[in-house]
Chains A and B, each alone.
Chain A
Amino acid sequence: MELTKDILLDLHRRMVRIRHFEDEAGKLSESGQMPGALHLYVGEEAVAAGVMVHLTDEDQITSTHRGHGHLVAKGGDFKQMYAELYGRSTGYNKGKGGSMHIANVDAGMLGANGIVAAGPPIAVGAGFSNKYRGTKNVAIPFFGDGATNEGSFHEAANMAAVWKLPVVFVCENNGYGEFTPQAEHQAIKDITDRAAGYGMPGIQADGMDAIAVWEAAGEAIERARNGEGPTLLECKTYRYYDHVGRSGIGLEYRSDEELDEYRKEDPIPKLEKHLIDNNVLTADEIQAVHDGILAEIAEAIEFAENSPLPDPSTVTEDVYYTG
């Protein structure tokens, strides 16, 4: 596994795509232009990017309520994503899912999910399917520290381990279950402590460092593809915005100092410094990446805003497959 220039550029591009997608979505939500609630992924981009660089459309992921970043990193199309967040019929889910259920099954993205820890059992099903069908594909559930307190996480982890399924459990430990600090919701600091209980390896990566995540995920994904079973990969990361929206519900549950500390660890400038130091990109070229993505986003938002709303007569369509 060699960290090539192409991989570095890919990691950078995926992270910048997420960052700008989320920033713009957050603004549109705050201004009331976008309905519903958004859980923004800003700060955690290194995790989605570092994992997704290893995957193809035939590999599956399950996501969380904080799911836009995962879909962007898995190749999500901005137009269909914004259209879905706007509840338009041109969205990925035809406006029936919204932020918390956004999905693109064709690319192996089995949905954001409004239920904490609902994804891991589904990813186990996808991993089982990969093995049953004789493929080398992997299934990756993303989930938070809080999700590891749910019974369904436990059932999924045990099942994947006992059946040696090609699943990599990626925990995005951002230190909070909604607003509750980790120390108050579990008696462990390292989610990897739980891995031994399932008989699977537990490895950690700095979730604020895309290269570190890329390395750790690569190792775990290779094990899975080789039929050596699941891994629990914990990425310690941080959520720059609040649990919901950019500013949340106005709770003071974490300090500005803490946020500032993690801002210094921002994975995007960190990788950009690496790119410049190693002569991969110049500052101007980096700026051009940002500008190109922002232009694409502006176009996608325009597309979404000009897209038709779903016809109310379609409300009961798609409940069942009818042929």
Chain B
Amino acid sequence: MTAEATTEARQLPYILAITEGVRQSLQEYDTSFLAGEDVGLAGSVFRIYKGLYAEFGPERVIDSPISEAGLIGLGVGAGATGLRPMIDIMFSDFIGECMDEIANQLAKTRYMFGGKTTLPVTVLTMGGGGINLAAQHSQSLEAWLCHIPGLKVMMPATPHDVKGAIIAANRDENPVFVIMNKASLGITGEVPEEPYAVNIGEAIVRREGSNFTIVAIGRMMHEAMTAAEILEKDGIDVEVIDPLTLQPLDTETILTSVRKTHRALVVHEAVRFGGIGAEIAAQIQENAFDDLDAPVGRIGAPFSPVPFSPPLEQAYLPNAQKIADGVKDLIGLD
């Protein structure tokens, strides 16, 4: 027990939790490899794979041509023939380059083949804004992926969860997207040293509360926690739920919370229109209508591309204050 307590207390930044998750995945399966643009020598532009090339060699940590469709195809073909690929798509914005291989091949092959193959493919990609990378390197496109049957989609917010999500994804027999968050790379938290998996499809109650539920996706979880502190001063006791996995979505944990608090707001960094928040709000209203004291609110980015200039980007992104204001609106406080 003492040893466990020691390892659980270890603090690690999100960036190193990613590295460790991939390292331990490569250690766990000889059939696993990591391929992507500049993942090897450079350790990725985000340096999230630093050291892995030296440790595992160019046969298992593979610098690829700049060919996203080729990379996802590599995952499909290798995954269907006995390997357990980990494919890095540097920015999640680049999925447009490989959407056919994602939507029509990776996601559907098992179903189209009548269940006669598995595709244990992990796709690691970096999403989100906040660091002035403008419209093509800052998007949150998780809703695109969640709409495609056959994929699992995770958006880990903490160092603990990003490591556990990578290992869980690599152990899973299905294609799993782990959408990491570039603005969270410096966030530090407890990360056990041993390999562990988080449960895919299981939401986490980050903060218990009695009279309001905020469902906050990805990095927005941290903003929601800050918002909850702001709201506490107004006597609003907020429960914060981090879905962690968006596909499959843990609707039950969300509904249990809403049945207790009777009010809910869903927050994501993605554009509000057609975002995953719309799906969550619809599910709450379908399943817990009689428990609701107010419409389910949604906070997301406005319907525009992500702007470059810092004040524009800050105006664009949801944050703790906007979330707190949104909660007050729903409750009817000024």
Q: What is the interface of chain A, defined by CB distance below 8 A to chain B?
A: 60, 62, 91-97, 101, 103, 105-106, 110-111, 113-115, 118, 120-130, 132-133, 139, 151-152, 155-156, 158-159, 162, 317-321, 323
Contact = CB atoms under 8 A, between A and B. Distances in A.
A130 B69 CA distance: 20
B70 A103 contact: no
B70 A159 contact: yes
Contacts of A320: 110, 150, 152, 174
Nearest to A109: B113
B67 A96 contact: no
13 contacts: A60-B77, A91-B114, A115-B105, A120-B73, A121-B70, A125-B76, A129-B77, A129-B83, A132-B78, A133-B82, A152-B69, A159-B65, A159-B67
Nearest to A131: B59
Contacts of B68: 155
B237 interface: no
B72 A121 contact: yes
B118 A111 contact: no
A101 B173 CA distance: 21
Query: Which among B68, B114, B115 has the greatest number of chain A C-beta atoms within 10 A?
Result: B114
Contact of B77 (A97, A127, A323): A127
Contacts of B73: 118, 120-122, 124-125, 152, 155-156
B100 A122 contact: no
A121 B74 contact: yes
Contacts of A159: 64-65, 67, 70, 74
A92 B113 CA distance: 7
A321 B80 CA distance: 13
Interface string B113-145: 111111000000000000000000000000000
A302 B211 CA distance: 65
Interface residues of B, number: 40
Query: Which among B33, B68, B111, B173 has the greatest number of chain A C-beta atoms within 10 A?
Result: B111
Contact of A121 (B85, B101, B117): B101
B80 A110 contact: yes
Contact of B81 (A101, A120, A129, A156): A129
A105 B114 CA distance: 11
Nearest to A100: B112
A90 to B, nearest CB: 10
A318 B77 contact: no
Contact of A103 (B64, B77, B112, B174): B112
Contact of A110 (B70, B77, B110, B115): B77
B11 interface: no
Nearest to B85: A125
B234 to A, nearest CB: 43
B300 interface: no
A152 B113 contact: no
B78 A319 contact: no
B285 interface: no
Contacts of A60: 77, 81
Contact of B105 (A96, A122, A124, A158): A122
Contacts, number: 144
Contact of A115 (B74, B85, B100): B100
A62 B110 CA distance: 15
A111 B33 CA distance: 24
Contact of A155 (B70, B79, B81, B104): B70
A103 B119 CA distance: 15
Contacts of B105: 113, 115, 118, 121-122
Nearest to A101: B112
Interface in B73-104: 73-83, 85, 100-101, 104
Nearest to B75: A125
Nearest to B107: A319
B321 interface: no
Contacts of B57: none
A97 B115 CA distance: 10
A152 B82 CA distance: 23
Given A118-B104, A129-B82, A155 B113 contact: no
B77 A123 contact: yes
Interface in B267-288: none
B310 interface: no
Contacts of A96: 111-115
Contacts of A162: 65
Contacts of A105: 80, 113, 116-117
B294 to A, nearest CB: 34
B119 to A, nearest CB: 8
Contacts of A318: 110-111, 114-115
B300 to A, nearest CB: 27
B186 interface: no
A129 B68 CA distance: 18
B121 to A, nearest CB: 9
Contacts of B174: 320-321
Contacts of B149: 319
A73 B275 CA distance: 46
